[in-house]
Structure 1
């Protein structure tokens, strides 16, 4: 092999076999369990390896480091939420009904589970000190925001004045949803969640009459 061929080979991304992919999933499953049990402050590569039943080398072989492990764990959590909101309601329903279904889908028992919310908050905290996790968090936030914005644009229709309200509504609703999750962590108040979601829809009706 020539020096040029060796250089190309070194730069080529490593292809993951099915066994590697399955092992990565097992490591991410183990990471989620450790985070639920011990929190971000108690997470270590050794704990994850022990939880998965692997040697420490399996983590270093399958991931670039614990930041990537955490990023991929966060990606999976957000993927579940996005799948749930995407599947909420009927695609043929009126835009307002689809928007209401989207908002409600984020507050089912699965996503109000204390372990799930602890994971979200821990990963938000990790994003403050890790550029890798922060980039992943920003990307996933952007996906969710784009989905919400698309629904609001559908509600607004073609009226330029109504569409001009969508950025304000999107930012306000995103902040409100985060606040409702945090408030649930503190108070476990079902009525508070219902009132908060009702308030979101009332704001939409007020700005997009």
Structure 2
């Protein structure tokens, strides 16, 4: 017997979040093509009309789901690079490490991230969101790189180094998705610090 959505009186924010969470679960399990409106709504326990009411359609829901995922990354990074009581080199190291371990690097989340990366060249809304959110993320990373450089007494192009670091992180993340045994989180973290060590003495001996 087909599953019938259970209708409950919940706030709009709760329903929106339920749909976003359901989208992530469906994408992790079924991929982009398998995450149909019907499956998402069944997973969330709501009607298709509620999806249209809260998001206007699947494209907007997908974009908001991607926003939520990248915002989690940005929040975790900002929380670590803004911590009191640690030097900038340790804050940057921890900000890198958190992206390589669960929950941000949990297998289900990695599968969903891969699916969204596939959508970026094909979906203008997601492409625009990716550019904005990843731009903010790189800006945060560049800021703490500049702090490390000042503490080390060296001059670096913090923006360029942040681009290189985030590109390496994305590549390592991809390898961890495709071949989980190739790179451990610790090994991936060490590769990132090795890259930084070419420009920043704080990481030169790592």
TM-score normalised per structure 1:
0.83
Q: How many matched pairs? A: 191
Distance 2:198 2:76 in 1: 27
Does structure 2 conserve the Cα–Cα contact (< 8 Å) formed by 1:91 and 1:98?
no
Matched residue of 2:11: which SS? helix
Residue 148 of structure 2 aligns to a residue whose secondary structure is helix
For residues 127 and 190 of structure 1, what CA distance do their matches in structure 2 show?
Answer: 26
CA contact (8 A) 1:180 1:193 kept: no
Gapped runs of 5+ residues in structure 2?
Answer: 1-9, 202-206
Can you give the 5+ residue segments of structure 1 that lack an aligned partner in the other structure? 1-17
| Cα distance in 2 for residues equivalent to 1:137 and 1:47 | 25
**CA distance change for structure 1 residues 203 and 126 in 2, over 3 Å: closer, same or farther?**
closer
In the TM superposition, residue 195 of structure 1 has moved relative to its aligned partner by 3.0
Kindly name which structure, 1 or 2, has the bigger radius of gyration based on alpha carbons: 1
Deviations 1:123-178 (A, max 9, x none): 11122211111111111111211111111011112899614x32331111011000
Q: How does 1:71-86 map to 2 (within 5 A)?
A: 71-86=63-78
Q: Given the superposition, is the C-alpha separation of residues 33 and 159 from structure 1 closer, same or farther in structure 2, using an over 3 Å criterion?
A: closer
Contact 2:22 2:40 in 1 (8 A): yes
Q: Helix, strand or coil: the match of 2:80?
A: coil
- State yes or no: 1:98 paired with 2:91: yes
**Structure 2 counterparts to residues 147-162 of structure 1, below 5 A:** 147-157=140-150, 162=155
Q: 1:55 to 1:199 in 2, by over 3 A?
A: closer
Q: Are the equivalent residues in 1 in contact too, given 2:88–2:144 (CA < 8 A)?
A: yes
Instruction: Give, in angstroms, the shift of residue 57 of structure 1.
Output: 0.7
With 116-125 and 79-88 compared, the bigger mean Cα shift is at: 79-88
Q: Identify if the C-alpha distance between structure 1 residues 88 and 160 changes in structure 2 by more than 3 Å, giving closer, same or farther.
A: closer
- Pairing of 1:23-172 with structure 2 (within 5 A): 23-88=15-80, 90-157=83-150, 162-163=155-156, 165-172=157-164
- The structure where helix makes up a greater share of residues is 1
Q: CA RMSD in A?
A: 2.2
Q: 1:191 to 1:179 in 2, by over 3 A?
A: closer
Moved more, 81-90 or 154-163: 154-163
Conserved 8 A contact 1:36-1:119: yes
- Select 1:179's aligned residue among 161, 171, 174: 171
TM-score (norm 2): 0.84
